[in-house]
């Protein structure tokens, strides 16, 4: 006898639970929502629906992939970020909810200045979620977005086209500020924003298997300091940031005070502040160029 949608959902949940995978119910709902193109709440409104063989095969494939350890976002090929749905695949790391704090800090700073052109640079853009969200939310902005990975930039451009902001986001290949050299962009930007790699090499081995086995290593490793890349962005960024321009950086748990101390002692920035994410973690450090 064919299973109903609700019975299929219950079966998938039980299987993931047996394999000791986290959040088996919500994972099963996400898989079926993706396969059937339904909102999660609508799964229950269609509980008596009978899945086609093609739909059942796809669910079986998704479950097999998840049991192997593959992240959900790479399986269904999308993830939510700041109320938007982005294409997600192994060309770039998976956007995390805490990075919304970084984006929100920039938006709140500029939201009342939207009558003026806003020039932003996103260092290490990855899948492009930071640059694209800022372009989408700040209609008078133009965003440069750099990354060392050509594959990541290709994904980012695909995402920009989804939200029709590709004419206001310029993706450039290169390390940190290298793509800006000899481009007459000194004192050009109103904002530098970045979520740089911040996992110490010595801590990488302790990360979850689904991160180490599936996400690009280059998006996480930062050497042995924890704020190596943050220091580099802050020091080199002064050249390209306007006086009074905004620097906003995401930071690992436990490193906010260290970065704040570095920025304060450098005298390159003032009005330095730490912003907590929704979990209460000191996640973002911002300051204005002196």
Q: Is residue 165 assigned to a domain?
A: yes
Same domain as 283, residue 144: yes
Same domain as 154, residue 44: no
**Distance, CA of 122 to CA of 97 (rounded, Å):** 17
**Distance, CA of 73 to CA of 75 (rounded, Å):** 5
The whole-number average pLDDT for the span 165-189 is 93
Side-chain-side CA neighbours of residue 121 (13 Å): 29
The number of domains in the chain is: 2
Measured in residues, the chain has a length of: 290
The residue among 215 and 83 whose pLDDT is bigger is 83
Q: Is residue 175 assigned to a domain?
A: yes
pLDDT at res. 54: 94
pLDDT at res. 135: 97
The CATH number given to whatever domain includes residue 264 is 3.40.50.150
**pLDDT category, 226, cuts 50, 70, 90?**
confident
Q: Is residue 160 assigned to a domain?
A: yes
Same domain as 163, residue 59: no
Same domain as 28, residue 167: no
Same domain as 88, residue 176: yes
Q: Is residue 170 assigned to a domain?
A: yes
What does each C-alpha distance from 237 to 94, 122, 124, 129, 261 come to in angstroms? 26, 11, 13, 21, 17
Same domain as 154, residue 283: yes
Q: Which two tokens stand for residue 206?
A: 């302790």
Same domain as 30, residue 168: no
Q: Is residue 74 assigned to a domain?
A: no
Q: Is residue 284 assigned to a domain?
A: yes
Same domain as 106, residue 129: yes
pLDDT at res. 1: 60
To the nearest 10 degrees (0 to 180), the angle between helices 150-162 and 129-137 is 30
What is the per-residue pLDDT across 56-101, written as a single tens digit (0 to 9) for each?
999 999 999 999 999 999 999 999 999 999 999 999 999 999 999 9
Q: Is residue 73 assigned to a domain?
A: no
| Radius of gyration of the chain, Cα coordinates, nearest whole angstrom | 21
Single out the residue in 68, 99, 118 at which a domain terminates: 68
Domain that holds residue 36: 5-68
Q: Say if CB 63 and CB 12 are below 8 A apart.
A: yes
Same domain as 90, residue 110: yes
Single out the residue in 68, 93, 116 at which a domain terminates: 68
Same domain as 190, residue 112: yes
- Helix (H), strand (E) at residue 180: none
Q: Is residue 164 assigned to a domain?
A: yes
Single out the residue in 68, 90, 122 at which a domain terminates: 68
The whole-number average pLDDT for the span 246-257 is 92
pLDDT at res. 124: 96
Same domain as 273, residue 239: yes
What is the per-residue pLDDT across 117-152, written as a single tens digit (0 to 9) for each?
999 999 999 999 999 999 999 999 999 999 999 999
Same domain as 180, residue 267: yes
What does pLDDT average to over the chain? 93
């Amino acid at each position: 006898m064919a299973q109903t949608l609700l019975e299929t959902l219950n079966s998938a949940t039980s299987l993931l639970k047996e394999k000791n995978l986290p959040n088996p119910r919500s994972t099963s709902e996400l898989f079926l929502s993706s396969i059937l193109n339904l909102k999660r709440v609508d799964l229950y409104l269609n509980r008596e629906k009978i899945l086609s063989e093609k739909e059942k095969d796809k669910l079986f494939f998704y479950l097999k992939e998840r049991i192997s350890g593959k992240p959900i976002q790479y399986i269904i090929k999308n993830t939510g970020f700041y109320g938007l749905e982005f294409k997600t695949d192994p060309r770039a790391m998976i956007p995390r909810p805490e990075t919304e704090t970084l984006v929100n800090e920039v938006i709140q700073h500029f939201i009342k200045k939207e009558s003026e052109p806003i020039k932003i640079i996103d260092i290490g853009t990855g899948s492009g979620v930071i640059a694209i969200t800022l372009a989408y939310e700040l209609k008078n902005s133009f965003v440069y977005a750099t990354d060392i990975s050509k594959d990541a930039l290709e994904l980012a451009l695909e995402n920009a086209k989804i939200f029709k902001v590709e004419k206001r986001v310029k993706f450039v290949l290169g390390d940190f500020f290298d793509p800006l050299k000899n481009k007459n962009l000194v004192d050009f930007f109103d904002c530098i924003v970045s979520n740089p790699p911040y996992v110490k090499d010595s801590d990488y081995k302790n990360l979850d298997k689904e991160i180490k086995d599936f996400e690009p290593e280059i998006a996480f490793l930062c050497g042995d300091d924890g704020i190596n890349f943050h220091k580099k962005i802050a020091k080199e960024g002064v050249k390209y940031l306007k006086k009074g321009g905004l620097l906003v950086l995401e930071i690992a748990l436990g490193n906010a005070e260290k970065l704040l101390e570095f920025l304060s002692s450098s005298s390159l920035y003032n009005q330095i502040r730490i912003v907590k994410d929704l979990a209460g973690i000191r996640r973002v450090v911002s300051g204005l160029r002196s």
